[in-house]
Amino acid sequence: MTHQPLLLRIVKEPMAVSLLSVLILAAFLVPMLNLMLPSDSAFHVPSYVVTLLGKYLTYALLALSVDLVWGYCGILSLGHGAFFALGGYAMGMYMMRQIGDRGVYGNAELPDFMVFLNWQELPWYWYGFDSFGFAMLMVVLVPGLLAFVFGWFAFRSRVTGVYLSIITQAMTYALLLAFFRNDMGFGGNNGLTDFKDILGFGLQTDGMRATLFFLSAMAVVTGYLVCRFIVDSRLGRVIVAIRDAESRTRFLGYRVEYYKLFVFTVSAVLAGIAGALYVPQVGIINPSEFSPANSIEIVIWVALGGRGSLTGPIIGALVVNYAKSYFTGALPEVWLFMLGGLFIFSTLFLPKGLVGTKAISDAFEEQRLRLAKFLRPYDYAEGGEGR
Amino acid sequence: MNKPHASNTILYLDGVSVSFDGFKALNDLSLYVEEGELRAIIGPNGAGKTTMMDVITGKTRPDKGDVIFNGGVDLTQLDEAAIANLGIGRKFQKPTVFENHTVFDNLELALKGHRRPQSSLFFRLSGEQQYRINEVLGIIALTDVHMMQAGSLSHGQKQWLEIGMLLMQDPDLLLVDEPVAGMTDAETEATAVLLKDIAKTRSVVVVEHDMVFVKSLDCRVNVLHEGSVLAEGSLDVVQQNEQVIEVYLGR
């Protein structure tokens, strides 16, 4: 019922403001500290850290996309890794074409793996990927289209709950098997790698790494704003209504399947963009990205951070992935147990995730009230709550 | 119980049968409601009252029979959303409101029109619509709690909120399933007054167990038993009916 502009609404929420400011600040500061300071300075951020943080940020965007469908619309997708991987493959195909004749076989017409397989010409579905614009279009279009078609059938047939989760899992598993096959033309088991550059700028240069980090941070901020616009709108209230009482929503005259289709498709597009930013930073895309376990891991990030809030999944993805990097280095054999333990722990003790814990939400609530009083002192003159 | 022509009715059920795994939930049910009428449906558990609601609102397809709305629309061909948008509102047996939304937002979501995703993404409440919501808040006596989450309302308040959501839909026909279940006597009385008031401008079908409440509605009553209509008439008349006494009232 509030018709304030989006930014004004966000400004009133200390948690969102803090997170977005940190992200925007980092988007500028991290590349600057990396590029401008000499490497022996105490404040210098090494390039590998820039890339690592950039990777976490793409995971944060992916978590945000899962939260939009799961946290707000109750669709527990266990196949979002597929949309992420498809976005990544689209980006990878562009970068493969950019290699040109600099591959091992020096074939300007065909990527190395096709030469290796004795293919004579480029398959039709690789056409157009020489163009950056076309590839970027595919980053958005391919995951979006798959989600649309998949959702069209699933939601129209009123597949819900655990059954929907299972078929999303089946979808990503089917894609995993398909992409493993050499004759699919996507590099089979090895996937796509040995990338050289994007738009002529070398992938290994510090400038490119910093740029990708910047873009990843800004993509998370933009993704947050897009999701925020959606969930604050009346459409957002309808999808929450669907989550809480689907048949009631139907009897009010809403076509539940259209709403689900909308958020599912938007979510898949966000996941695809995250994948496209991920691949150049890690330098490879292969079918393992489709593995069902990956998709389940995303759900853990969201559950731990706090589903149904937009800050939660971002924080969850960053925290869990930082922990993963740390523990897979320090105590590699215990990491999977920890991950499983985290999921059980958050399900049992943190139903609203980290951002929903009393300590954190109280601290931010206090800030919010203080801010609100500062902005609208008259509403609070009687000592009332105001709104 | 003369069979009227469908075109003279708001709701026309004729020879409707539904079976689930061989169990006949509705058995050749015929029921006719005139425009502007308030009608009560009573019957023991398992008589088919809720199944009848499901058939009318598109949740269950009948095996055979005609279900016609407003003199000519065949409801058996439409789904829940289409039927709701035609102007049939339904209140569930168990009060179902959107617990995580405020009372105000519950009513806003029920507001007539604006059902497509693209229009709801950019929707803004007009002054007129805001006025209507406030009006309904007054009718259902929830003005003071309009910013509260619906989940924190009392049981009776949830029942009223759901009736309020029906009013926001501005339907021609309201189907109300056990509106006073779990209400105090005072709330029950107030609900009877509210429904009678609503029935002045719309057609209302009420399913209810509470005899005192049905009596206070002071309207025609159908007694359902084993999926068909056993008797029809005023409550006094049906209460005298031998068969009705046997299956229902005399237990």
Domains of chain A by residue range = 6-376
Q: What is the pLDDT of residues B170-226, one digit of tens each?
A: 999 999 998 888 888 888 999 999 999 999 999 999 998 888 889 989 899 999 998
In terms of Cβ atoms closer than 10 Å to its own Cβ (0-12, 13-18, 19+), residue A329 is exposed
Query: How many CB atoms neighbour CB A239 within 10 A?
Result: 27
ipTM of the complex, rounded to two decimals = 0.90
Question: What is the b/e burial string over A298-321, where b = at least 16 CB atoms within 10 angstroms of the residue's CB?
Answer: bbbbbbbbbbbbbbbbbbbbbbbb
Measured distance CA(B51)–CA(B55) in Å, rounded = 6
Q: Are A248 and B85 a contacting pair at CB < 8 A?
A: no
Q: Looking at the domain assignment, is residue B1 inside a domain?
A: no
Q: Looking at the domain assignment, is residue B218 inside a domain?
A: yes
A77, A295 in Cβ contact below 8 A? yes
**Closest CB to A258 among B104, B108, B117:** B117
**Closest CB to B98 among A1, A241, A255:** A241
Q: Looking at the domain assignment, is residue B101 inside a domain?
A: yes
**What is the dihedral angle through the alpha carbons of B57, B61, B63, B65, rounded to the nearest 10 degrees?**
30
**Residue ranges of A 200-239 with Cβ closer than 8 A to chain B:** 230, 233-235, 237-238
- Concatenating the DSSP letter of every residue in A225-266 gives HHHHHHHHSHHHHHHHHHHH-HHHHHHTT--HHHHHHHHHHH
Distance from the A325 Cα atom to the nearest Cα atom in chain B, whole angstroms? 37
The token pair that represents B208 in the structure block: 């209810």
At residue A262, the pLDDT reads 97
Q: Are B81 and A255 a contacting pair at CB < 8 A?
A: yes
Beta bridge partners of B32: B12
B198: left (phi over 0), alpha (psi -120 to 50) or beta: alpha
Q: Are B84 and A252 a contacting pair at CB < 8 A?
A: yes
Question: Which residues have C-beta within 8 Å of that of residue B122, sequence separation ≥ 6?
Answer: A233
Measured distance CA(A272)–CA(A91) in Å, rounded = 10
Measured distance CA(B9)–CA(B75) in Å, rounded = 14
Q: What is the mean pLDDT of each run of 10 residues along chain A (387 residues)?
A: 73 88 96 92 92 97 98 96 98 95 90 93 95 97 98 95 96 97 93 94 94 97 96 95 94 95 98 98 96 95 93 96 93 90 88 83 80 71 45
Q: Are B121 and A235 a contacting pair at CB < 8 A?
A: yes
A155, B25, B31, B41, B230 from B19: Cα distances, Å: 26, 5, 18, 20, 19
Distance from the B2 Cα atom to the nearest Cα atom in chain A, whole angstroms? 31
3-state DSSP assignment of residue B18: strand
3-state DSSP assignment of residue A73: coil
Query: How many CB atoms neighbour CB B232 within 10 A?
Result: 17
Q: Are B123 and A233 a contacting pair at CB < 8 A?
A: yes
A260, A73 in Cβ contact below 8 A? yes
At residue B1, the pLDDT reads 52
- CATH number for position B242: 3.40.50.300
Q: Looking at the domain assignment, is residue B202 inside a domain?
A: yes
The token pair that represents A122 in the structure block: 């480029």
Q: Are B101 and A233 a contacting pair at CB < 8 A?
A: no
Q: Looking at the domain assignment, is residue B154 inside a domain?
A: yes
Nearest Cα residue in chain B from A238: B109
Residue where the block lists tokens 């089979």: A188
A34, A50 in Cβ contact below 8 A? yes
The token pair that represents B224 in the structure block: 């359902």
- Concatenating the DSSP letter of every residue in A276-300 gives HHHHHHHTEE-GGGG-HHHHHHHHH
Nearest Cα residue in chain B from A259: B117
The answer, for B5 touching chain A at a CB cutoff of 8 Å, is: no
Q: Looking at the domain assignment, is residue B112 inside a domain?
A: yes
A38, A201 in Cβ contact below 8 A? no
Domain count, chain B: 1
Beta bridge partners of A77: none
Distance from the A2 Cα atom to the nearest Cα atom in chain B, whole angstroms? 9
**Residue ranges of B 19-78 with Cβ closer than 8 A to chain A:** 57, 59
Q: Looking at the domain assignment, is residue B237 inside a domain?
A: yes
Measured distance CA(A134)–CA(A222) in Å, rounded = 22
Measured distance CA(A55)–CA(A32) in Å, rounded = 18
H-run or E-run covering B10: strand B9-20
Q: What is the pLDDT of residues B49-104, one digit of tens each?
A: 889 999 999 999 999 999 999 888 999 999 999 999 999 999 988 889 999 999 99
Nearest Cα residue in chain B from A231: B121
| Mutation for A interface: B79, B80, B123, most A CBs within 10 A | B80
Residue among B112, B213, B103 at smallest CA distance from B161: B103
Distance from the A206 Cα atom to the nearest Cα atom in chain B, whole angstroms? 41
Share of chain B above pLDDT 70, in %: 98
Taking 60 as the threshold, does the pLDDT of residue B120 lie above it? Answer: yes
- Concatenating the DSSP letter of every residue in B206-250 gives EE---HHHHHHH-SEEEEEETTEEEEEEEHHHHHH-HHHIIIIIT
B30, B229 in Cβ contact below 8 A? yes
